[in-house]
């Protein structure tokens, strides 16, 4: 056996495979299910416009021209554009609670937070997206671009970005059903969400770049979440180019 096969990454993949004759077994005991939606009931709220402009961009062309953008102009992003991006990533698209991006078992373990830097009618600050209300819950005001750049291994595009999407996973939402295999699904869910963001941004003719390199718990601290149960797993910078 090679050393890399003994490491946690390789072992995780092998120990969470489904086999026809060997169901996934574990000793995790009973796993409690957290509520399906997170909310900050005491936070002040910014209602997002539901009648946002929907760009009529051809899908194939949008896919063809999408590129990660890392340089942004100082022009602010409109609130309508932000509303469209949030709808495209995590918006409710059915009365049954299904959303724009698919999710394993429709469990929706991913939460969306924003670091707003330069968006019309929204003071800079950290916000949580409330998908049910289609609103932003204010967690704290202030410009967090410099801190984010530092927490993302010095990637300076955070300082220029109009808004940063920060996706966390409420691990047990998915683990209660899928046990250890849930971790695979959580990252797949996040990929779908981010790709919707990238395509929606391209359709709006604005730039975005996915970010996987960051000091996990430093970002958790910025959001004020409990790293034991909810973890930052993916970011994306967005702005006009
Ligand atoms: C999971 C993931 C993590 C990424 N992390 C970073 C990152 O930390 N910094 C960065 O500048 N680009 C990051 N990228 C963007 C990739 O560098 C980019 O997608 C790749 O170079 C292909 O270019 P394209 O997106 O323009 O097609 C990431 C992309 C993915 C999918």
Q: What is the CATH number of the domain that holds 229?
A: 3.40.109.10
Q: What does the pLDDT read at residue 160?
A: 97
Residue 192 Cα to ligand 1 middle (Å): 14
Residue 56 Cα to ligand 1 middle (Å): 26
115, 145 contact by CB (below 8 A): yes
Query: Where is 135: in which H helix or E strand?
Result: strand 135-141
Q: What residue's CA is closest to ligand 1, atom 12?
A: 211
Residue 234 Cα to ligand 1 middle (Å): 11
Return the structure tokens found at 196: 């919707």
Pairing of strands 45-47, 163-170: unpaired
For 8, counting Cβ atoms within 10 Å of its Cβ (0-12 exposed, 13-18 middle, 19+ buried), the class is: exposed
Residue 122 Cα to ligand 1 middle (Å): 28
- Angle of helix 79-90 relative to helix 182-203, nearest 10 degrees, comes to 150
- What domain count does the chain have? 1
Which of 62, 65, 66, 68 to probe ligand 1 with, by most ligand atoms within 8 A of CB?
68
Q: What residue's CA is closest to ligand 1, atom 10?
A: 211
Q: What does the pLDDT read at residue 54?
A: 86
Return the structure tokens found at 24: 């996934």
Return the sign of the alpha-carbon dihedral for residues 56, 58, 63, 64. negative
Rounded to whole angstroms, the Cα distance separating 234 from 236 reads: 7
Ligand 1 interacting residues, C-beta cut-off 6 A: 67-68, 70, 155, 209-213
- Mean pLDDT per segment of 10 residues, for the chain of length 241 residues? 93 94 88 95 97 91 98 97 98 97 98 98 98 98 98 96 98 97 98 98 98 98 97 98 96
Q: What residue's CA is closest to ligand 1, atom 2?
A: 212
Q: What does the pLDDT read at residue 1?
A: 86
Give the angle subtended at the CA of 37 by the CAs of 90 and 177, to the nearest 5°. 95
Give the domain extent around 197: 3-239
- Cα dihedral 100, 204, 122, 186, rounded to 10, equals 30
């Amino acid at each position: 056996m090679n050393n890399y096969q003994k490491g946690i990454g390789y072992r995780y993949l092998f120990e969470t495979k489904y086999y026809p004759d060997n169901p996934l077994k574990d000793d995790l005991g009973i796993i409690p299910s957290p509520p399906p939606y997170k909310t900050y009931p005491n936070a002040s709220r910014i209602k997002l416009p539901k009648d946002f402009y929907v760009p009529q961009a051809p899908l194939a062309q949008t896919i063809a021209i999408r590129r990660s953008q890392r340089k942004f102009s100082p022009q602010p992003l409109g609130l309508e554009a932000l509303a469209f991006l949030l709808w495209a990533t995590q918006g409710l698209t059915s009365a049954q609670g299904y959303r724009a991006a698919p999710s394993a078992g429709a469990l929706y373990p991913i939460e969306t937070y924003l670091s707003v830097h330069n968006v019309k009618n929204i003071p800079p600050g950290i916000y949580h997206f409330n998908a049910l209300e289609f609103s932003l819950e204010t967690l704290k005001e202030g410009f967090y671009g410099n801190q984010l750049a530092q927490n993302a291994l010095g990637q300076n595009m955070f300082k220029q970005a109009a808004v940063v999407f920060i996706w966390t996973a409420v691990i047990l939402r998915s683990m209660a059903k899928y046990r250890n295999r849930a971790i695979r699904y959580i990252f797949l869910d996040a990929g779908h969400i981010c790709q919707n963001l990238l395509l929606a941004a391209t359709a709006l003719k604005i730039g975005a770049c996915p970010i996987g390199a960051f000091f996990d718990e430093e970002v958790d601290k910025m959001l004020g979440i409990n790293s034991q149960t909810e973890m930052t797993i993916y970011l994306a910078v967005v702005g006009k180019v």
